[in-house]
Amino acid sequence: MSWILLRRFINHQTDISEFSEYNYLYSPNLQMHLDCDNSKGIFQIKSTLKNEVLLEIPQGWLNTKFDKPDQLVKMFRWVSNNEFKVINSDSLEKKFKITKSKKLEQVSYGIVPMFDHTPVKKEEKYHYYFDTLSVLKSPDKIYERLIRKVQLYYSAIYVDGAESAKDKYNVMLTVDFNTQASQKRKVVLDQSFTFLHWRVVEALCDDENKVDIRLMSKDEIKLLALNIFPQGKTAAHYLFNHIDQLKLLY
């Protein structure tokens, strides 16, 4: 087998493409790509081969008046050959579709819980949708990892329209290859819950061997509330018929 160079893409902007190794500028079929007209301060979708402007993205979503272009593209990603997602600094995420008439059509939207815009500005080698935050490269950062799982789960449900159990579990259970442990050939299973918290919430529902939630610290309760257990259940789902415990939890 040998490689043959058919075409080389040379029209994309290097200033918005050098901070990550992932392909976030080009659509999966490479027919379209994201570009920025710095003179107008407007992001555009262009055809790859002809480099023609197909449409302009409203400044309300990629606004160069408030953030630099290389920071804004950190919150943009293609999800199909004609659809992309973008999240703004107010934690509102939207999915858009490029119609056959080359118009922009909103498909869905949702709020990303506990979204922190700071890493987009401070972390140089970081893309929100693809790269791992430096703090998450250590597998023992349980609080930060659970927050990230909650964000991905909400996005999958409300923006991507995940309905089947398989689609949800693909978000809840993943293998993280970006941790320090994975570099030593150790598998890191990244889940939306911990088995300890699963046992705790089951014990809270046990009338015969009930755990007193008042003995738990605020940090422990916060961690418990962030867990998304199998079947998409949270601590609130488990404690639905245990009102006294539920009141103490929240």
74 contacts 19 by C-beta, under 8 angstroms: yes
What residue spans of the chain are helical by DSSP H?
A: 69-72, 118-122, 142-154, 165-172, 195-204, 218-226, 235-238, 243-249
Domain residue extents for the chain: 1-119, 193-249
C-alpha 128/C-alpha 212 separation (Å) is 39
CA 234 to chain centre: 20
Minimum mean pLDDT range among 44-58, 60-74, 121-135: 121-135
190-195 CB contacts, 8 Å cutoff, 24+ apart: 190/145, 190/149, 191/149, 192/146, 192/149, 192/150, 192/153, 192/227, 192/228, 192/229, 193/146, 193/227, 193/228, 193/229, 193/230, 194/142, 194/223, 194/227
Q: Across residues 26-51, what is the average pLDDT?
A: 90
Of 80-89, 162-171, 180-189, the one with minimum mean pLDDT is 180-189
| Rounded distance between C-alpha atoms, residue 7 and residue 232, angstroms | 46
Gap between the Cα atoms of 82 and 127, Å rounded: 21
pLDDT tens, position by position, 170-195: 888 887 666 555 556 666 778 899 99
CA–CA dist 228, 250 (Å, integer): 16
Q: CA–CA separation, 179 vs 86, rounded Å?
A: 26
Nearest one of 104, 72, 69, 108 to 88, comparing CA atoms:
72
pTM, 2 dp: 0.83
Among 7-16, 83-92, 178-187, 237-246, top mean pLDDT goes to 83-92
The whole-angstrom separation of Cα 45 and Cα 33 is 6
Confidence at 29, pLDDT banded by 50, 70, 90: very high
